Structure 1
Amino acid sequence: MNDQPHLREIHLANTVDLSDEPDAFQAQTRGAFDFRYIAAAIRSNLLLIAAIILVSLAISIVSTLLDTPRYTAASTIQINDASDRVIGENDDSTQQAVNAFDVDRFLKTQTDVLKSRGLAQRVAQKLKLQGNPDFYKAMEVSPPDGEMSLEMQRNLVLTLLSSNLKVNLPRDSRIVTIQFESADPNLSATVANAFASEFIQSNLQRKFDSSSYARDFVANQLEEAKQRVETAERNLNEYARSTGLVRTESTVRRDGSASGDTGGSITAASLAQINEAANRAKSDRVVAEGRWRAINSGSLLASREVLANPTVNNLMTERAKVEAALEEDLARHLDDYPSVRQKRAQLDKINGELQAVAVSVRNSVRNEYLAAQSAEQALIQQLNMLKSETLQEQDKNVQYGLLKRDADTSRTLYDGLLKRYNELNATAGISSSNVSIIDLAERPQFPSSPNLFKNMAIALILGFGLAALTVFLKDQLDDAIRVPEDVEHKLRLPLLGVVPKATDGDPDGSLRDPKSPISEAYNSLRGALLYSTTAGLPHVMLVTSAQASEGKTTTSYATASGLARMGRRVVLVDADLRRPSIHRRVGYSNERGLTNLLTTQDPIESVMLPTSQESFFMIASGPVPPSPTELLSSTRMEEIVTELASKFDVVVIDSPPILGLADAPVLSALVDGVVFVVESDRGRRGSLKTALRRLRAMRPVLLGAVLTKFDPTRSGNRYSEYYGYQYYTYEHTDTKKG
């Protein structure tokens, strides 16, 4: 310990600094929910929790017994997406079409209509509830007096109906349940059924009103459309008459189908026909010209037209036979032979006939060609004339087309409106509802409220909630440490040890008994201090508390004594220069002590007090000085601490309380670690956290807290077993039994 500042720097570097990061230790010692602390808080406030719950249950029972029985009647209806068809398969006039993707919104809208003020007014009028004394009695309200206006009476009835009506629509169903609650079971059933029936009636009435409005609207539109059609057609006819346009009903194609134009002029129709005829004539002329060129370009008898003639074929066949017979005669006879001459004459005759027929065929082809050419020229001349007339007529057709389209549009609109008007007239007064009644409400046999078990369950839940809130607020507003878990939760300090309360009121006597719970508790504290830092046991420790009489002096003495029994050289310094008490424990006077060392340069050995333990020494406080804080904050005090640390293994300093004094915070800056002593179950009112804030302002090394004067029997002796306070008692009992 020759280099005390260096050791403190090492200790600071390896210890969580709770003054800078108070949440660091909290995050290391407990998770998001510290169930041990919650259980401890419940145990410490068990009577309060039980009282709150019992009071809640008692209130629920009394209120249930005093409450008037109320009866709930329910009727069910089915709401479909669209109403049934009435007129025909293709009629949609009575159908309320609903988008398949909007069914949920549609059903929600229907339930809102069920809860609407308008439907409640229909029910009130149907059942004549306004001014009905039985209704007011069933609703547990006083009948209106004569001073209440009719409007106020009506509002009262509607409010009572709406406030006691419940409409329930399941998530995956179209069955809606209508419930009404009152003190009269008959009235509950009557009102529930009235809401169902009036909902259907109002639905039908809305459809009828909508259909009536639609008929009136369509009738007005139909009259206007009729006038527009008449005007448009009259203008069209007048324009055609003034321009001399003659229109046909339709233009027919060659295949007999209509052209799609609703009508055309005669000139245009004639032009189309002449153009088609001219095309055909041109085609015929080209064919005829080809035939003529073919027959006129080569040998006449080699032409296809000639060869295709049946007469030519017969003559050529006959000629072939004559030529064959002639060849046979020439083979047997001379040229002058009569049969040869006869056959030659016959052959010449056949050739002449062939030539005459071929010429006739050629002339026929030529005539056809000339006729086709003449017809083509005539049609082309007529076509050119019609083209000129058609071009002159096109300008007139533009305006005629505009007028005709206007007339056609007006006619189409008029026809559509007329059809819709006829449909509305056919379905007027015929409509079906998309709502149907499934079950009518019956008179309930048993009251629905008050429900004792339900009220008790609610009261139990509320009681638990109120108890939890009370315990939470109590825990947040009170920093008193009642159970060991409070140390880590409220102070954010590690728990070094728990010292039980002395049963005989003499903690010093219990310390002399090595088997007492107090001795065992301080032995446990000693073990915790041995591993309180990464460097092991701190060489210089300060023991302090928030207020006086919390057990810090006893803790200082017991800690120093316990470490001395381990063979360590320990010195206990009484730095409480205002109310010294350590010298009394060993029977010494307080004539000399720490005050003498601070005011003089006397050696430390001059004030050293031996104890019954060989390695345990004490330094009393000495005479009470006029200004203890100035002495403890002097450089002489730092020199004394450094010298003691070099001569002893452990230096334990007993300091004054923190609140109201500056001594303990000043001393905390000179030591390697601070042990904070907290008295169990002591009223604080914020003083404990205030003391810790003052101490942390000096940036000390807080080793942890020691909970003193803890009574384990306050929680059903659970803590005595947990901390082993009854171990020797159990052993003694077992020994007796043995």
Structure 2
Amino acid sequence: MLAVARRNLFGIGVIVGVVLALTVVVTLLTTPKYTAGARIQINDNSSRVFSEEDMQDEPVVAGYDTDRFLKTQTEVISSRSLALRVAQRLNLAGNPAFFAAQDSKPPAEGTSLANAQAMAASLLRTGLNVQLPRDSRIVTIEFTSADPALAAKIANAYVDEYIQSNLQRKFDSSSYARNFLGEQLQLAKQKVEDSERALNAYARSNGLIIPRSASSGNEKDNSNGSNSVTTSSLLQLNTAANDATAKRIAAEGRWRAISSVPLLSSNEVLTSPTINQLVTAKAEVEASLKEEQSRHLDDYPAVLAKRSQLKSLNDQIQITANNIKNSVRSDYEAAKQAEQQLMSQVASLKGDTLAEQDRTVQYGLLSRDADTNRQVYDGLLERYKKLNATAGVSLSNISIVDEAQAPSGPSSPKLLRNLLIGLIAGFVAAGIYVLVREQFNDSIRVPDDVEPKLDMPLLGVIPGARDDDPDAALADPKSAVTEAYNSLRSSLMYSTSEGLPKIIQVTSAQPAEGKTTTSLAIATGFARMGRTVLLIDADMRRPSIHRRVDVPNEAGLSTLLTSHAELTSIAVQTGQLNLSVLPSGPVPPSPTELLSSHRIEELLTEGARHYDTVIVDSPPILGLADAPLISALVDGVVFVVEANRNRRGSLRGAIRRLRAMRPIILGAVLTKFEATKAGNQYYTDYYGYDYYQYGSSGKADS
């Protein structure tokens, strides 16, 4: 990541600098804004007043739903309807200063009042900011404007209109309920009237006189007609008949008692006060008579007088006893007659009552219907009265904590904050720039880029030759280039499961990436190991190997492809032991056609029979078909990539063309790599750049 940043340091600096400069310019040109805020407390219950001394709290929302309730209230504050109320309250539609403070043009002439107010409400919602801290009921209503006094005025107007709209919503909600109850009350009243009229009409047509009790406890009696006049009369007569029967039985008992025993022995006579007085007087006269008889004879006047008095008393007792007996008999006869009359009337009323009960069945239905309608009407009327009594008397559950004050300083723009934001934005933009550039740039800058970008293993890293003279570097066995190619040779020895491939092709995406130098270095390295090596120059458009090894080019690969000559007769032995070179030969008019023939496959097979290793230096891949054709015939392909070469997608295109032939790709070789310019000490240490430099300078190794 640090290496990527160093490679794009200039672009990053330019982008960050431009963004910071733009931030400063925009900040200085921005009109100062002032933010005024008012704070209110929103409770989850409100007070309802029923009288001057009676007040009670009623919940606005359930306790578990308080957070959602407060969030809803903040949305209400930010609503379009509340903004429209504030615009109307402050007459902002006709205030050009308001539109100027909000950096907006006032409504054009001829704009309707409704549209102008809608424009003002839209600007209000743009400058409004409602803050609800977590775990708090304190809501801050802020408004931002270029005019500090106007900002405070609008913030306070928002608070006032919010409180009034909250109360208005409560009143409107009860108004809807009152209107609905009023309509239902009229319908219930009409039903009561209709049912009462139907009940009275039925009673009149059937001659029913039934008093209807107002209490619900007698509703059952009313429904079956038990309180009708006929029924009441029957009940009264039946009670009287029962009483008459009891009286008759009592009178009959007295009569039987007084008539079944001697007159003066009956209880009625004996208990009579008159009889008791006469008996007492008789006893006194008898006692006086006995006293006179003891002193005088029976014809003595005093004795005769006493006897006459005694007889008179006996006659009075007899008369009185008969009168008592006759009185008991008269009572019995009267009770018997009264009983018979009452029983007759009861029997008559029973028939009338039974007939009336048949008629009261429908009356009961109509009566119950009328009572039900009346109860519904009474309930609605009671609810309607209570709703009218309590409508609009709720206190607001919103209280003002702090009123908005005109701010003394602007809330925006803030230079330091904007610079910090600009710095962050600059780094983000620079990061995007670097990411896009690195994503679309397929150049290989460091060895670690090979595998992720090329999807092939890294075989070796070849440093750049001094003075840009690779032949001199290869001639020095202690040079960094030679040591790097020795390392590449070791990698090729174990590049496949069978070891070193027999026929190896060396190619690259574009010219001048070091493929010819790599081919020559690989061939020379294996020749030094004692292996017989054939180096074929298959680049028949721009041949160069014959010059690098100083051999003639009168005959070569093109000669073999156009004839049946033997490979060993054309191949040239070089000054390096075990190394033979097959130059390209005369440049043919169409190298691709020659390489497309079966002759090239025969030559490669023949070379594999006569030599331990065959190295094919093929042309670049892009723009030519030679390298892909050869890759399908060899045992392995070495792909040479020049470090830090800007290709803009050409490298990926070359690899796609190469893999279309399904070759065996051994890996990639990164050439001309400068570890000191990679921007990371890791590559310098890991790839031994310091060690190579030390060896090439001829210093003694400690």
Query: If the TM-score is normalised by the length of the shorter chain, which range does it land in?
Result: 0.7 to 0.9
In structure 2, the partner of 1:354 is: none
Could you tell me how far apart the structure 1 residues matched to 2:623 and 2:372 are?
101
2:220 to 238, 249, 261: 261
Pairwise CA distance, 1:558: 1.0
Could you tell me how far apart the structure 1 residues matched to 2:174 and 2:205 are?
46
1:441 to 404, 415, 419: 404
Could you tell me how far apart the structure 2 residues matched to 1:219 and 1:251 are?
25
* Residues 179-206 of structure 1, C-alpha deviations (whole Å, 9 max, x = no match): 1111233322221121011110122223
- Structure 1 pair 461–261 and aligned structure 2 pair: CA distance change class (3 A): farther
Could you tell me how far apart the structure 1 residues matched to 2:437 and 2:362 are?
95
- Structure 1 pair 125–249 and aligned structure 2 pair: CA distance change class (3 A): closer
Could you tell me how far apart the structure 2 residues matched to 1:654 and 1:472 are?
36
Pairwise CA distance, 1:598: 2.8
Pairwise CA distance, 1:172: 4.5
Could you tell me how far apart the structure 1 residues matched to 2:439 and 2:399 are?
59
Pairwise CA distance, 1:733: 9.7
- Structure 1 pair 227–96 and aligned structure 2 pair: CA distance change class (3 A): farther
In structure 2, the partner of 1:126 is: 89
In structure 2, the partner of 1:468 is: 431
Could you tell me how far apart the structure 1 residues matched to 2:671 and 2:348 are?
131
In structure 2, the partner of 1:724 is: 688
Q: Which amino acid aligns with 1:261?
A: K
Q: Which amino acid aligns with 1:118?
A: S
- Structure 1 pair 138–261 and aligned structure 2 pair: CA distance change class (3 A): same
Could you tell me how far apart the structure 2 residues matched to 1:265 and 1:56 are?
99
Q: Relative to structure 2, which stretch is displaced further, 72-81 or 126-135?
A: 126-135
In structure 2, the partner of 1:371 is: none
In structure 2, the partner of 1:114 is: 77
Pairwise CA distance, 1:68: 2.5
Task: Please say if residues 479 and 693 of structure 2, whose CA atoms lie closer than 8 Å, have aligned partners that are also in contact.
Answer: no
- Structure 1 pair 561–405 and aligned structure 2 pair: CA distance change class (3 A): farther
- Structure 1 pair 402–102 and aligned structure 2 pair: CA distance change class (3 A): farther
Q: How many residues align?
A: 593
2:147 to 184, 201, 204: 184
Identity of aligned residues (%): 57
- Structure 1 pair 666–271 and aligned structure 2 pair: CA distance change class (3 A): farther
In structure 1, the partner of 2:117 is: 154
Pairwise CA distance, 1:664: 1.2
- Structure 1 pair 628–215 and aligned structure 2 pair: CA distance change class (3 A): closer
Pairwise CA distance, 1:552: 0.8
Q: Which amino acid aligns with 1:720?
A: T
* Residues 535-559 of structure 1, C-alpha deviations (whole Å, 9 max, x = no match): 2222211011122222110011111
- Structure 1 pair 492–398 and aligned structure 2 pair: CA distance change class (3 A): farther
Could you tell me how far apart the structure 1 residues matched to 2:698 and 2:411 are?
61
Q: How does 1:60-99 map to 2 (within 5 A)?
A: 60-87=23-50, 98=61
Q: Which amino acid aligns with 2:477?
A: P
1:401 to 353, 356, 364: 364
Higher relative contact order (Cα pairs below 8 Å, separated by 6+ residues): 1
Q: How does 1:518-667 map to 2 (within 5 A)?
A: 518-667=481-630
Is the counterpart of residue 478 in structure 1 residue 436 in structure 2? no
- Structure 1 pair 639–734 and aligned structure 2 pair: CA distance change class (3 A): closer
TM-score using structure 2 length: 0.75
SS at match of 2:460: strand
In structure 1, the partner of 2:306 is: none
Q: Relative to structure 2, which stretch is displaced further, 582-591 or 706-715?
A: 706-715
TM-score using structure 1 length: 0.71
* Residues 460-508 of structure 1, C-alpha deviations (whole Å, 9 max, x = no match): 3332332233233333443333333443333322222222223411111
Is the counterpart of residue 195 in structure 1 residue 158 in structure 2? yes
Could you tell me how far apart the structure 1 residues matched to 2:375 and 2:649 are?
90
Could you tell me how far apart the structure 1 residues matched to 2:209 and 2:185 are?
31
Q: Which amino acid aligns with 2:506?
A: V
- Structure 1 pair 397–109 and aligned structure 2 pair: CA distance change class (3 A): farther
- Structure 1 pair 594–212 and aligned structure 2 pair: CA distance change class (3 A): closer
Task: Please say if residues 94 and 431 of structure 1, whose CA atoms lie closer than 8 Å, have aligned partners that are also in contact.
Answer: no
In structure 2, the partner of 1:302 is: none
Q: Which amino acid aligns with 1:458?
A: I
In structure 2, the partner of 1:327 is: none
Could you tell me how far apart the structure 2 residues matched to 1:223 and 1:434 are?
35
Task: Please say if residues 40 and 483 of structure 1, whose CA atoms lie closer than 8 Å, have aligned partners that are also in contact.
Answer: no
- Structure 1 pair 259–625 and aligned structure 2 pair: CA distance change class (3 A): same
Could you tell me how far apart the structure 2 residues matched to 1:695 and 1:733 are?
40
Could you tell me how far apart the structure 2 residues matched to 1:589 and 1:734 are?
36
Task: Please say if residues 84 and 433 of structure 1, whose CA atoms lie closer than 8 Å, have aligned partners that are also in contact.
Answer: yes
SS at match of 2:405: coil
Task: Please say if residues 249 and 262 of structure 1, whose CA atoms lie closer than 8 Å, have aligned partners that are also in contact.
Answer: no
In structure 1, the partner of 2:264 is: none
Q: How does 1:445-456 map to 2 (within 5 A)?
A: 445-456=408-419
Could you tell me how far apart the structure 1 residues matched to 2:671 and 2:543 are?
20
Could you tell me how far apart the structure 1 residues matched to 2:364 and 2:490 are?
113
